[in-house]
Amino acid sequence: MAARTKGAPDPAWKPDPVVSHWAMRQALDQAAYAARTGQLPFGACVIRGVELIGTGHNTVLTDQDVSGHAEINALRAACAKTDEIDLHGCVLYTSCEPCPMCLTACYWARVSGIVYAAKAADATQAGFRQLPNAPAHLSILATAGTRLAGGLMRDEGCRILTNWSATANWSGHQGAYQNDALRQRDSRTAE
């Protein structure tokens, strides 16, 4: 059996497929809702067993709050619903691989698992500015007992990102959210 890289998605961890597909559908629906309402197209939910205890979509633009990521909003909702900050035993489902801030929030909340659709590289490819996760931080998460699984319904996660990016007016938020290569291309096109 090949050793797994610390912090990399764990191929041996297989969350219940029925619950996982249902939960990821909730996260992707949140991402689609965010896109329809003028937000950045990211969504998430928190599941305890088979119970949905929190959902969230990106609210960075409407709230003018850089911490308004879908994962953070879903964790806040789960903590409010359960009246506790310890979410051990819960799994976060998200439309895209979480950024370092969101992974840190999962660590502090003691989330037991994270399942994502699109990879951070997919978001970058779609034009979003992404900060890669440091292997050391992923290792700390793994040591703390948080398992990662990526790629569940990845095609749909990617489609939501690329559809938003293709139709969105980046004006006003290029600096914060649009990746540098796409921003440079768009500035050359505008000249």
Catalytic residues: 71
* In contact, 30 and 55? CB cutoff 8 Å: yes
Q: Confirm if 71 and 108 have CB atoms less than 8 A apart.
A: no
Residues 6+ apart with CB under 8 A from 133: 7, 97, 98, 99, 100, 103, 120
134's torsion region: left (phi>0), alpha (psi -120 to 50) or beta? beta
Token digits for 78?
């789960």
